[in-house]
Chain A
């Protein structure tokens, strides 16, 4: 049987030589992401903003206009309705109400009373009070920062600091551009998205570490090879694996996106994007970056180590 090989056996792409192109592109992506984030912002879900989310099934195709008028008359501020996966499935979002945590329950009552008999089933009722919303926002930020910090520590411990910095640059790039994507398409950013971002961080670093491992191995083996050539070789040697793993993961994620249901669609999109950008950043950012910081080659005594030893 002829085996399928997406990447031919002996590739010799000059990744490192074209690094400037990648740097420009990534720079653009990051600036655009930050620009979007600060101008357009994120479509924060109730997890972080506080508020009410109710998913209902109606007795027939829902008349969104009529429902909108009905709920609009309740004076609950911003109320949005959207079809959710099926014409008789409606997602209702009500903004955070005044009056602290206790002020919110009355609004849920009011909405449920107003909806009355069009509703066949309350599929979901979620309510997050302002206190919990603020706490979740804080916890999520910490989780992302801690994850990046912990990964930096691990890579630093296992490799050299240059690798750690390179890995984190790629990682931060992936996280920022994911946030940029969510800002661009205004997909709801909620707790599940944060989980997706952290998973992307894990995946991205996984990919980077595999290539770095090969770089380190080659550095030990070929002490005299020019760094650019060595990095290119490492990338080409691992290219088949990088592609292979990305494809299997993407296959599973695409299945999740198509068949996994409406509730985790945003989550799947974030992960799919993460796998693509994570693969890109390991190849085009994390590895070429090493060219500028020149990690110590096996056997040589580096300046840094020497001065540290003297200071002790």
Chain B
């Protein structure tokens, strides 16, 4: 153990130098080292949101609504098919994620089955280009049918819904001017949004919470609204609450036609602007949307057109003249901010499904900086305590362990920078803990050397067998701690993962520095001083 080949000496020194180089950028301001030659490492440690301040949001896409929508689409197709074939049926509806019905005449089962098979034949292509079936048709034989979405179809639909949601969320967040947001899918139906530097995410949360589905419906002025309010809503119409409170202080219900005249998916632009000193939102349709809008307004001059956003009527202005240019204005009782947000939402597009916020962790920049400062002070003071104590206990050997500890910290910082791992507040705690535990490997060796010396061995032989005997213990002891750290990483979330990362890195680097660096120092010292008795 006391013969270290020249090659190994160079390797050890090289690792230490690289450690210093990679750790160095963290001790300078960002613009200082950006002028350094490009071959020098120039990456600083990535600070977690709890240190740099920012907002972490975990969102869930309500994919159930998408599946339910699709099922009711299947129900519609079945109804159309049966009607056009003049087949009598009963009990058509969606139950337990299946469209069920039964024919009045059980002898028609086979006929209906063929028709359904034709209607829902494998039409979509999967990722390998082979056709997949979306709807699975099951006939019980007594004339009753059950149609379910296949597993592949459901998961494909969920995938595309989540992917589309991410796209819309990204557009909305980009529009707010947030720098470097991270938006990624997590698990099946969740989306993780990280917004560095955002300390009051209320506006963004409001923007994300809105589906922003915009539709234009005609107001039903033929049927009596008051009769509908008592419960008899005519078919083809529906009651939609208004966004603003009416004279009674409660939102009023507006009776509108179910048919969508034009949808918000046809919008190409929306901007907040002013009309008669009121904030309004101006919008422009694409060609198809513009034509639909023109036809609608042409045929309904003098009637009211309801603008419905997320199942609420924003306003229902009367059509004074045909609007042929494909653009228009939404007025309501908006504040400037509300008009801007609505315009933003319309530009970014509607979410395919509603979103709920499952978890939020926001740290203001003040607390983040305080945590960094506190972490730094704690690390430095902890380090000083340990350095002094090691020298008091082991003298010159303590000094050598301290030099190794210094390189150990440099290596931790270097690895964190090079791997671009995220440093969190618990991560700093991990470094402080590592400072305390890192000397353990050295302590094990030194205590062993003491014992060997007490047994009457020569200095060289004591050091040799001290290392030889302590090494298995060091590996056993550190690997068990590493197991706990790896599990922390696997199960922990966010900041805790950061703790596991620094702890694991710390365990590995401390094994290296204790076994390699301290040993090299001791060997060099032994060769130079050739002590008769070890001062330990």
Contacts and interface: CB of A to CB of B under 8 A. Distances in A.
Interface of A: 1, 3-6, 9, 55, 57, 100-102, 104-105, 108-109, 112, 121-129, 131-132, 136, 139-140, 142-143, 146-147, 150-151, 154-155, 158, 191-192, 194-195, 198-199, 201-203, 205-207, 209-210, 213-214, 217, 237-238, 240-241, 244-245, 247-256, 258-261, 263-264, 267-268, 271
A256 B432 contact: yes
B70 interface: no
Given A192-B426, A241-B443, A267-B426, A143 B490 contact: yes
Residue with the highest number of chain A CB atoms closer than 10 Å, among B356, B381, B450, B484:
B484
Give the secondary structure class of B's interface: helix
B480 A260 contact: no
B395 A101 contact: no
Contacts of B378: 255-256, 258-261
Contact of A3 (B435, B436, B496, B536): B536
B490 A131 contact: no
Contacts of A244: 393, 443, 447
27 contacts: A3-B393, A4-B389, A101-B356, A108-B360, A123-B364, A125-B360, A129-B357, A195-B492, A195-B499, A198-B485, A199-B433, A199-B488, A206-B437, A217-B469, A238-B447, A240-B450, A244-B393, A247-B389, A248-B440, A250-B436, A251-B385, A253-B432, A253-B436, A254-B385, A259-B381, A263-B371, A271-B433
Interface in B454-509: 454, 469, 472-473, 476-485, 487-488, 490-493, 495-496, 499-500, 503
B336 interface: no
Interface stretch (B2-10, B177-185, B199-207): B199-207
**A-side interface mostly:** helix
B-side interface size class: 35 or more
B392 A123 contact: no
Contacts of B443: 241, 244-245, 248
Q: Which of B202, B359, B379 has the most CB of A within 10 A?
A: B359
B425 interface: yes
Contacts of A109: 202
A198 B357 contact: no
Given A126-B360, A129-B359, A267-B426, A202 B472 contact: no
A253 B431 CA distance: 11
A255 B370 CA distance: 16
Interface string B417-457: 00000000110110011011101100110010011001000
A104 B450 CA distance: 62
Contact of A9 (B201, B390, B425, B454): B454
Given A191-B496, A198-B487, A253-B432, A261 B374 contact: yes
Q: Which 4 A-B pairs have the closest CB atoms?
A: A252-B436, A202-B484, A261-B374, A255-B382
Contact of A209 (B209, B361, B476, B500): B476
A3 B366 contact: no
Given A241-B444, A260-B375, A205 B393 contact: no
A245 B436 CA distance: 8
A1 B392 CA distance: 9
A266 to B, nearest CB: 11
B382 A256 contact: yes
B343 interface: no
B480 A143 contact: no
